[in-house]
A and B are shown apart, each in its own frame.
Chain A
Amino acid sequence: MISGVLIFSGTAQFVSVAMLSGGSFFMAAVTALMVSARHIFFSISMIGRYRNEGKRKWYLFYALCDESYAMLSSDNTPDGVNVSAYRFFVTLFDQASWVIGSTLGGLLGNVLPFDSTGIDFAMTALFTTVFIEQLLTEKSRIPAILGFFATLLCLLVFGRDYFLIPAMILIIAAVLFMRNKTEAKDASTGKEGDNGA
């Protein structure tokens, strides 16, 4: 439970369990960096969105996770709902369910009446629905396809233990390249580029 509150990252917590007895401190830090590096990615993309959240933004950043990121980065707050409050409560419920879930899991893990093998597929399924929605939306289609294939390429080239960081570098390089190209095009047609705003 302590690690549920402090680490609050499924994979990092999992790694910490493996290292609790006998792992070296340095390896623990490097491994945590590898599995948590995607949060740098999440965090960077929320800077613009959370800019006006005041003190609350530090909580939003601290508790940012795969699930809250999937819900909040698509910017589809339900109509008539205060955006700040929506962000805060989505993040809070995500974190609460995580901390309560990992505590309950620790306590009840061995007495569950059914076999939960494969339940982690729910996360893959959630990402897949968001991905399909992005494919169906004109403006997000190309970046979505780019993200998928760039990561797949890096998985094949670097192997499953090291592909995440090269994939993120490749994706950022590719979207920056796309931005420069659209700006050059906008400049030549005399149009104001709206990419930066």
Chain B
Amino acid sequence: MPEKLHALIIILIIGAVTLATRLLPPLIFSKSEKVPDVILYLGKVVPYTAMGLLIVYCLKDVSVFTGSHGLPEIIALAVVAGTYLWKRNSILSVVAGTVVYMLLVQKVF
């Protein structure tokens, strides 16, 4: 199989799977007049749980026992948390935390 065709098929397969994960749930429930209560309940509570999930997901490759022992991450997260509790401004905290993190991984560790 030609290289380019193979690459295109791979992109299409991954695209289709990604699309399915986003469109199947609403497709399944758009048929019924009323969305089941339990789904609406999940819709209310699950977003609150998802941020914790995403933070762990972002940090999954950090190793506490090797390399920099996760210190850049811990320091940068402390900057994010500290500035956020101080000013309650998420843009400020994201920029400050990211700059600190980039300096730490590039210059210090």
Residues of A within 8 A of B (CB): 2-3, 6-9, 12-13, 15-16, 19-23, 25, 28-29, 31-33, 36-51, 57-58, 61-62, 64, 66, 69-70, 73-74, 115-119, 121-134, 140, 143-152, 155, 160, 163-164, 167-168, 171-172, 175-176, 178-179, 195-197
Q: Per a CB cutoff under 8 Å, which of A15, A121, A145, A164 touches B14? A: A15
B67 within 8 A of A: no
Find out whether the CB atom of A73 lies under 8 angstroms from the CB atom of B25.
no
User: Interface size on B (CB < 8 Å)?
Assistant: 65
Chain B interface mostly: helix
B39 touches which of A7, A47, A123, A129 (Cβ 8 Å): A47
Tell me whether A44 and B25 are in contact (CB under 8 A): yes
Residues on B with C-beta less than 8 A from A70 are 51, 54
CB distance from A87 to the nearest CB of B (A): 14
| Complex CA distance for A136 and B59, rounded to whole angstroms | 22
A147 touches B53 (CB 8 A): yes
Please list the residues of chain B having a beta carbon within 8 angstroms of any beta carbon in chain A. Answer: 3, 6-7, 9-15, 17-19, 21-26, 29, 35, 37-61, 72-73, 76-77, 80-81, 84-85, 90, 93-95, 97-98, 101-102, 104-106
Alpha-carbon separation in the docked complex, A58 to B55 (Å): 27
Give chain A's interface secondary structure class.
Answer: helix
Tell me the smallest distance from the CB of B28 to a CB of chain A, in Å: 9
Question: Closest approach, in angstroms, between the C-beta of A176 and any C-beta of chain B?
Answer: 7
Residues of B within 8 A of A148 (CB): 51-53, 55-56
Taking a contact as CB atoms closer than 8 A, the residue among A3, A119, A151, A175 that contacts B15 in the complex is A3
Residues of B close to A172: CB separation below 8 A: 42, 46
Task: Give chain B nearest CB distance to A171 CB in angstroms.
Answer: 5
Tell me which residues across on chain B come within 8 A of A47, comparing CB atoms. Answer: 25-26, 29, 35, 39-40, 43
